[in-house]
Structure formats: C-alpha cells, structure tokens
Amino acid sequence: MEKNSKRVYNFNAGPAALPLTALQKAQEELLDFNGTGMSVMELSHRSKDYEAVHNRAIELLKELLAIPAGYEVLFLQGGASLQFAMVPLNFLPTGKKAGYVMTGVWSEKAYAEAEQLGEIFVAASAKEGNYRRIPAVEELKYNADAAYLHITSNNTIYGTAWQDFPDTGTVPLIADMSSDILSKPFDVSKFALIYAGAQKNLGPSGVTVVIIRRDLLEQANKKVPTMLRYGTYAKDNSLYNTPPTFSIYMIKLMLEWVKEQGGAAAIYKQNQQKAALIYDVIDDINGFYIGHAQPDARSLMNITFRLANEDLEKKFLDTAKKLGFVGLAGHRSAGGCRASVYNAVPYESCQALRELMLAFQKENA
C-alpha cells in the first residue's frame, strides 16, 4: 500500500475522484486556454472558444452514451435535487399520476418533492429490508396512462443498482443516473429523460446533465417559470443564461479521458474488475465484512459494508485515514462503511483498499 505521491486514495461519494490526466490538463490550461490569454473561467460563454468546449462536451456525451437521434443533451444547475421538482413541474399534468420506484434515500427525496406538485404513487418499493435489493420488474405496478415512471438507477447510500432497466412501453421512463451514468453501456432509447449530477462520474460539481427525448419535451407544461422549463435550455443550447462554464470544460476533459480508455464498454470492464477486488473480500467465508446489498443487486459504484460492531468500524476507518484513504465512512443516515469506486478511481486504489481490508481482518479477527 505504498504511495508514490501526495495524492490520497479517494473513495468519496461525491464530489468524487477525477482522472489525474484531466486535472493536469486543466492545470496546464488554467492561465491560458487555447491561446486566449485567459482561463476558461474568464471566457465569455458567448465566445467561440467557449462554444467549442460546450459543443464538444455534448458531442462526446452523444458518442460515448450512443444517444440516438431525437434526443437533446442539456447542461443545467441545481443538481439532481432541482430535477426532483423540475420533472413533475414539466411532466405531471392535472388529472394524471406518476409512479415512483422506491430504492433508497434519493428516490424518497424525489417522491417527496413530486408529492407537493401533483398526484403520484409508489410503483414498487424495496424499503422493507432496508433497501438491500432492487424490485423485480414483475413487481412494478402502474397503468398505461401514467404520466411517467421514475427510477433511481444506482443508490449511493445503500450500494444497490438496477442490473437491467424495465421496458415501459408508452409510459415515459425517467431516471436519476447521478451515480452510475457512463459506468457501463446501456440502451438510452428506453428512457424519455435521464438526469445526472456530474460530480460522481462525469466531472466536478456545479453542473447537471439532462438527456431528454424531443417528443417528451414537446409535451412539457408551458406554464412553468422560464428557468424551470427544459425547453428554455433546449432552445438555446443550454446558453439561455451563463452556464457553469468551468464545470462543463471539466466534463469535456473527463469525457476525453473516457474515450481514451476505450469508451463505455472498456470503462465497464474496468469497473467490474475494481469492484470485484473489494466484493471478494466481503464474500470471504469468515464473514468479517458484512455486505449490505444483496449480491444480485450490488452496485459497481458504491460498495457498502459493515463490521461486527461500531467500535470495530471506527477502528477500521481510523486506520484507513492514517494510511491515506479518504471517504470510506458510510452515509450519516446509514452508518457503516462505503467505498465509492467511480470511473476515475484507479484500479490501484481499489487494490490498496483490498490489501488494507485483508490486513485489518488478519489483525482483528
């Protein structure tokens, strides 16, 4: 577990690790971007130099996610938390109901926000059993006239994830993909709308990516304040007002890094290998580490586990901190331990965590 630099083993749940090469590129261009004599942070969002950054980020997202024709890619602010309100404001008309699948804290928050804005219902829930699983497709209960069905693709706090997404037919499928977007290939065409805070797998905090099908966009409520309408951003290429330019620039650098790795399929293979290093220790027959998620619902992005008692967990976390590991404490609402192994977390960091877990187990079993 020797380290060759001052950089830590970063397992933060978000904002999360960024690729070292992307950070170095940003550092190199910080004072003089593209010969402008200015930082990207100083460029006008109406300038040709920034417009090229903006459009390249959109182009790369479309390429890497294989987004079909008929979709818009938007850059918004406010994180997923604002999307919890924007979705029903735009797409939950009077006289219709929307379904929410409950798989963790963030789906609960999305539900609570929508509840204030229209009629909604629980289409399925994994709350019984403390969110250790994902409901089976057969458990989903909704009518063909539902306004939409909302899911959270990956649950950062509980460490669960949808392994396959449902086909919802004519009912628009909407997903919060904040913590696993671009972690593996998936069929975008199944979804009418996808939103994702960038600060886990796409870049830094401050920008939210929205992928929206144009036919859904055309159905949006027009009697919504300008800045809360998806159409406002679609019409002006997300340049209606000043966007978070530096965050979008960092998304571009992150996406260029993903492309250099070989794209979504290569990233998925890396993510499987990284997660396996840690899950293999959790699955040891001695049961020293206790995984929270059921094996068939496990997330590749957030690995959650407990130890025999809180004192032992504290000792583990204290030991990890002294050795340069950051972000291994579980969410304050759940406790325990959590390793967030997003796209940019190096394989070597996961290998170091595995070694730490094995050594700690040997010393404390």
Annotated catalytic sites, by residue?
A: 106, 176, 200
Does residue 222 contact residue 245 with C-beta atoms inside 8 Å? no
- Degrees (nearest 5) of the Cα angle 168, 232, 51? 105
Distance CA 325, CA 105 (A): 25
Distance CA 168, CA 161 (A): 18
Distance CA 293, CA 335 (A): 14
Distance CA 271, CA 359 (A): 23
- DSSP class per residue in 189-244: GG-SEEEEETTTTTSSTT-EEEEEEHHHHHTS-SSS-GGG-HHHHHHTTT-SS---
DSSP 3-state assignment of 103? coil
Segment holding 53, helix H or strand E: helix 48-64
Q: DSSP character for 139?
A: G
**Which class for 363: exposed (0-12), middle (13-18), buried (19 or more C-beta within 10 A)?**
exposed
